[in-house]
């Protein structure tokens, strides 16, 4: 008997679920735009200058790590320093 009641309750909510899914499909671009705008409010994009500075800092740190790991090989260290000066 309880299974019969659950099926009836499910049948009552089925049109609402279908309507909600249809609205989500129709308004998907608008909902996606709202989500992107909310994301930009929470985490704004970096400017080109800030991205460039972060990339340069990351490259500099990478070269320093490579230099520290190759203490025993002077030729490699000199080559890495030359690469760091060009970058």
Residues of the chain above pLDDT 70, percent: 86
Dihedral angle computed from the Cα positions of residues 52, 56, 62 and 67, in that order, rounded to the nearest 10 degrees: 170
Look at residues 74, 49, 76, 50 and name the one whose alpha carbon lies nearest to residue 63.
Answer: 76
pLDDT at residue number 70: 65
Q: How far is CA 7 from CA 1, 17, 18, 35, in A?
A: 10, 15, 16, 35
Backbone φ and ψ for 44, nearest 5 degrees, come out as -70, 155
> How large is the average pLDDT for residues 66-77?
70
Which helix H or strand E contains 39, and what residues bound it? helix 28-42
Whether the model clears a pTM of 0.95, i.e. scores above it, the answer is no
Give Cβ neighbours of residue 77 (< 8 Å, ≥ 6 apart): 67, 70, 71
Query: In the chain, what percentage of residues exceed pLDDT 90?
Result: 44
């Amino acid at each position: 008997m309880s299974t019969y009641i659950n099926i009836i309750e499910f049948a009552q909510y089925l049109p609402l679920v279908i309507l909600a899914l249809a609205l989500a499909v129709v308004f998907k671009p608008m909902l996606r735009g709202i989500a992107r705008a909310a994301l930009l409010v929470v985490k704004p994009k970096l400017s080109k200058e800030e991205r460039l500075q972060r990339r340069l800092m990351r490259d500099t740190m990478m070269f320093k790590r490579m230099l520290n790991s190759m203490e025993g090989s002077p030729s490699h260290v000199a080559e890495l320093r030359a690469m760091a000066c060009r970058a």
